[in-house]
Amino acid sequence: MKKSMKNELKIEGESYKTQQTAIHKRKKRRPSRVHSVQSPAILLIGMLSRLAARTVQEVRPLVLVRPTSTSAVQRAEQRDEANFPRPVRPVEPGKVRLGFVPEEWFQFLYPKTGVTGPYVLGLGLTTFLCSKEIYVMEHEYYTGISILLMVVYAVKKFGPVIGQTLDKKIEDIEQSWRDYREGSIIQVKESMEKEKEAQLSAKGQDMLFDAKRENVALQLEAAYRERLARVHSEVKKRLDYQLEVANVKTRLQQKHMVDWIVKNVKGSITPAQEAATLKQCMADLKALAPKA
Amino acid sequence: MMANLFSIFEPSSSIFNFSLNWISTLLGLMFIPYLYWASPSRWSLCWSEIIFTLHKEFKALLTPYSLGSTLFFVGLFSMILYNNFLGLLPYVFTSSSHMAMTLALSLPLWVTLMLSGWINHTQHMFAHLVPQGTPSILMPFMVLIETISNIIRPGTLAVRLAANMIAGHLLLTLLGNTGPSMSSSIILSMLIFSQILLLTLESAVAIIQSYVFAVLSTLYTGEIN
């Protein structure tokens, strides 16, 4: 709703800031207002009409408007970069001449007094102070000269070495930050690669599962067939047994029957019959003998 | 103009009897670097190296009970260092050459240590009065000697610092006072040369004295546990 409001106001020619300020002012004055559920269009029209009446009285220039409720992010976006530039870290120390006089002073005096101006100023000022005894050269002065000589010698001799050592240490510190940052980037990339590999191997795992499943199915099939064969052989054994039993039974019955018949026949042969049969057989044989 | 030789030590810049010279005690604060950016500048790196080395030195001397006091002693060291060192520069008042300042540092420190030591660790403090390895015959005398050495500690701390500073400054002033009445430039150059040597010595003394003050305070702190 805010965006539509903003667009409306842009068309109307008012700034969003004045709108917000006015709204917040209005909100501040009436804190116990009850928000009823209305359509945004009605609310908008109502607000605009009230504001139109109000802004006629409270005309304020855009420059003095201060947003009353913004967060740090909004403040950063609203920052005037031209008039309030962000501070930049200076890498080199400020330029100086003669070791302690800033270059900017020389540039400041250049238009009026030229190149030699600041030097003339310094020389003349010191001469004036010394000659008029405003600055008295007593014991502190000689201490000052000694210190100046010592400091100049130390800076010329040890300055570059110490400066380079310290610069190297600063560079090491900054390098450690960069290394940490790059190291974590490399680590994240490596873990990305490992993740991809893990995904691939997970896919391979799928195939492995399928193969295992197939294997298990084969094993199950083999076991089933083996059991089927066993059942078949068991059933056949039982049937064979029954068959054998039946055969044996038949054979025994037959044998018993034959034996019984023979026994009965043998028993039924009387001795007269036997003698008669024997005689007959001998007669037959005698009859046959001349033929052979 | 110098009334006497010791008037260099007099805090004479005053406004309505309120001495302004003592503000030089706080001059060291201008030299301590502040960090606005994340990466250090040369001087701030230098300073942090110095105080980190000191912290490691003091940590070795302190017991685990009182390790946090390295903060205090490093601060004490830097304050006395800046006071001594900046006092060598011309026209800067050396506040650590006055017993008022040095005694104000050492006496409360010592009284605090004695009170906390004797009240909280009485047995321990009594045991410290006899050093390890003394023959039994000498023990009474050792107690006496140790007691006396304990009592004069604030005095020694204060007087050591003040006397060293006064001696150095006095020598420099004496040498410098012959300057205005110098006729030939050869002797003037010899004067400057001797002043340079003396200043080198005095800078070393300034640093050493501040270090000694801080280390001795650390040792006294380590003793009470």
pLDDT of residue B35 exceeding 90, the answer is no
* All residues at 6 or more sequence positions from A143 whose CB lies less than 8 Å from its CB, including other chains: B88, B90, B172, B176, B195, B199
Instruction: At A270, list the tokens.
Output: 């009387």
* Total residues belonging to chain B: 225
The contacts of residue B25 (CB under 8 Å, 6+ apart) are B79, B83, B95, B101
pTM for this entry: 0.65
ipTM of the complex: 0.83
Q: Identify the pLDDT of residue A13.
A: 47
pLDDT at A218: 96
Beta-carbon contacts of B59 under 8 Å, excluding residues fewer than 6 positions away, are B67, B70
The stretch A266-277 carries a mean pLDDT of 88
CB atoms within 10 A of CB B97: 24
Q: Stretch B44-66: mean pLDDT, rounded?
A: 89
- Report the phi/psi class of residue A114: left, alpha or beta, with left for phi > 0 and alpha for psi in -120 to 50: left
Predicted local distance difference test score (pLDDT) of residue A66? 61
What is the reported pLDDT for A34?
A: 47
- Output the pLDDT for position A79: 80
How far, in Å, CA of B180 to CA of A133, rounded?
13
Residues A17-71 pLDDT 10s: 555 555 555 555 554 444 455 555 666 666 666 665 565 555 555 555 565 667 7
Q: How far apart are CA B130 and CA B128, in angstroms?
A: 5
Q: Which residue from B minimizes the CA distance to A176?
A: B39
Determine the 3-state secondary structure of A257 from DSSP: helix
Q: Reply yes or no on whether the pLDDT at A5 is more than 70.
A: no
Flag whether residue A88 sits within 8 Å of chain B, measured between CB atoms.
no
Question: Which neighbouring-strand residues pair with A102?
Answer: A96
Based on its alpha-carbon atoms, the radius of gyration of chain A, rounded to whole angstroms, reads: 63
Output the pLDDT for position B218: 86
Q: Give A158 to chain B, closest Cα distance, Å.
A: 14
CB < 8 Å from B in window 163-192 of A: 163, 166-167, 169-170, 173-174
Which phi and psi (to 5°) does residue A102 adopt?
-65, 145
Q: How far is A84 from chain B (nearest CA, A)?
A: 18
Phi, psi for A23 (deg, rounded to 5):
-60, -45
Contact (CB, 8 A) for B213 and B77: yes
What tens digit of pLDDT does each residue of B181-194 get?
A: 777 888 888 888 89
Identify the pLDDT of residue A269: 83
Domain count within chain B: 1
Do B177 and A137 lie within an 8 Å CB cutoff?
A: no
Which ranges constitute the DSSP H helices of A13-100?
16-29, 40-57, 72-78
Q: What is the pLDDT of residue B81?
A: 94
User: Per-residue pLDDT for A257 more than 90?
Assistant: yes
Average pLDDT, integer, range B175-180: 81
- Residue numbers in B near A173 (CB within 8 A): 39-40
Residue B41, pLDDT > 70, answer yes
- Name the closest residue on chain A to residue B177, using Cα atoms: A139
**Interface contact B40-A170, CB threshold 8 A:** yes
pLDDT given for residue B80 in this prediction: 94
Residue A279 pLDDT more than 70?
yes
- Expressed as residue numbers, the domain containing B137 is 2-224
DSSP code of B15? E
pLDDT, one tens digit per residue, over B73-120 is 999 999 999 999 999 998 888 999 999 999 999 999 999 999 999 999
Out of B39, B90, B196, closest to residue A149 by CB: B196
Q: What is the pLDDT of residue A57?
A: 55
> Residues A165-222: pLDDT tens digits?
999 999 999 999 999 999 999 999 999 999 999 998 888 888 888 899 999 999 999 9
For A86-136, the pLDDT digits (tens) are 888 888 888 898 888 999 999 999 999 999 999 999 999 999 999 999 988
CA–CA separation, B61 and B125 (whole Å) = 18
